[in-house]
Amino acid sequence: MDERSPLEVEIRRRITAAGPMPVAEYMALCLGDAEHGYYMTRDPLGARGDFITAPEISQMFGELIGLWMAAVWKQLGAPENIRIIELGPGHGTMMKDALRAVQVMPAFRDALVVHLIEISPALRAQQERTLDALTTQVLWHAALDEVPNGPAIIVANEFFDALPVNQAVKSERAWHERQIEIDFAGNLAFTVARDPLPRFEMLLPPAARQAPEQSIFEWRADTVAMDIGRRIADDGGAALVIDYGHVESAVGETLQAVGQHAYADPLTTPGGIDITAHVDFQALARAVEAMGANGFGPVEQSQFLRRLGIETRAAALKAKATSRAAADIDSALARLLGHDRTGMGMLFKVAAFAHPSVGALPGFEA
């Protein structure tokens, strides 16, 4: 028999003791278990890791986010103190590039304090290294509600996809929670709860109620989205959420596991692979807006980055680059904007939120 990881042993123990485990609980353990969770023990990012993200593809990404934050700060009335909050900063690359870009705006640079929300000790250490040389004050927190009150600009790239997702499966009469059990052969396997989820259909968007049998509907706890909305509505500020996902709530399974840049079975090597699911931007917006913030978008990442001027920035960088570096800039641009299979331009969406007193945010103009 193959060796089981310590996390798999623990998951099996829990299933044996308490019965099948909801998908969200499984995902939360796989990613965030304090001892064996995927993010807690390793550095998943980069060419040698399991996946690569936009800020790791090109410095242009973080630079444009920096300029976006500076423009939004002005729209907020240029408050003397502004909290720049990033959820799930990975290597800290986006923040490093953003802060470098805003050095040309001393008033904004001097008004900001950076707050990074990170659960992983390994990645937090990496963020400390990345941001070490900066003069900007950087503070770390485990959760958004630990950041002191006051106006804030919140940014999150590929954060929400890593939050645990619940799944329900439609049967002839009702929806049942999807769970993980130990099957007859002794393997972890998907199953569905015998009892239906009470009144689940009422919570679904009308189109999803008509879905055929066996359809899967995914949803997340709205806690973080509501925290963002509450903060913005109470203290002023704005938020930017970039992730892969769909514009409207719909049925469909998007739970996926990735290890070393290839798809993997989410039930093998728990804790050893990344597990994510698409972000439902409609559900996200509903939760943020319910707290009193205004929503913008979502727009496709390609459209957002073009509106912020990524092509002009690429041309400026290329003008100073060797031909080899210029080719790298072109391929980074193609990846960030591309609508083909390898491109992020279409699958990735960008949504923003702001206090109701703030007009249309950069990148979301009508």
Binding site for ligand SAH (CB under 6 A): 32, 39, 45, 53, 55-56, 88-90, 94, 117-120, 123, 157-159, 162
Closer to ligand SAH at the Cβ: 58 or 120? Answer: 120
**C-beta of 95: minimal distance to ligand SAH in Å?**
9
How far is Cα 262 from Cα 50, in angstroms, rounded to an integer? 8
Query: What is the torsional sign of CA 95, 100, 106, 110?
Result: positive
- For ligand SAH, which is the closer residue by CB, 19 or 121? 121
Considering the complex, what minimum distance in angstroms separates the CB of residue 241 from ligand SAH?
Answer: 11
Judge if the upstream peptide bond of residue 266 is cis by omega within 30 degrees of 0: no
Report which of 264, 299, 305, 288 is spatially closest to residue 353, judged by C-alpha positions: 288
For 286, the token pair is 């509903």
| CB 287, min distance to ligand SAH, A | 16
Alpha-carbon gap, residue 254 to 298, rounded angstroms: 19
Please report how close the Cβ of residue 327 comes to ligand SAH at its closest, in angstroms. Answer: 23
Provide the 3-class DSSP secondary structure of residue 143: coil
Pairwise CA distance, residues 66 & 101, whole Å: 6
Measured from the CB of residue 207, what is the shortest distance to ligand SAH in angstroms? 30
User: By C-beta, is 33 or 118 nearer to ligand SAH?
Assistant: 118
Shortest distance, position 336 Cβ to ligand SAH, whole Å: 12
Strand ranges for the chain from DSSP E: 21-22, 82-87, 112-117, 138-141, 152-157, 166-170, 175-182, 188-192, 216-219, 237-246, 256-259, 262-264, 274-276, 279-280, 294-300, 348-354
CB of 51 to ligand SAH, least distance (A): 8
Whether residue 131 contacts residue 95, with contact meaning beta carbons closer than 8 Å, is answered with yes
Nearer to ligand SAH, 54 or 233 (CB): 54
Angle ∠(117,308,290) on CA atoms, nearest 5: 50
Q: Residue 61 CB, nearest distance to ligand SAH (Å)?
A: 9
Single-letter code of the amino acid located at 180: I
Q: How far is the CB of 229 from ligand SAH (least distance, A)?
A: 17
Return the number of the residue (119 or 321) whose C-beta is nearest ligand SAH.
119
Q: Output the residue with the shortest Cβ distance to ligand SAH.
A: 88
* Angle between helix 6-18 and 23-32 (nearest 10): 150
93 versus 294: smaller Cβ distance to ligand SAH: 93
Helices (H), 49-111: 54-57, 59-75, 93-101, 106-111
Q: Is the CB of 152 or the CB of 251 nearer to ligand SAH?
A: 152
Nearer to ligand SAH, 118 or 280 (CB): 118
Pick the closest to residue 174 from 219, 117, 213, 147 (CA basis): 213
| Cα angle 321, 325, 328; round to 5 | 135
Between 39 and 244, name the residue whose CB sits nearer to ligand SAH.
39
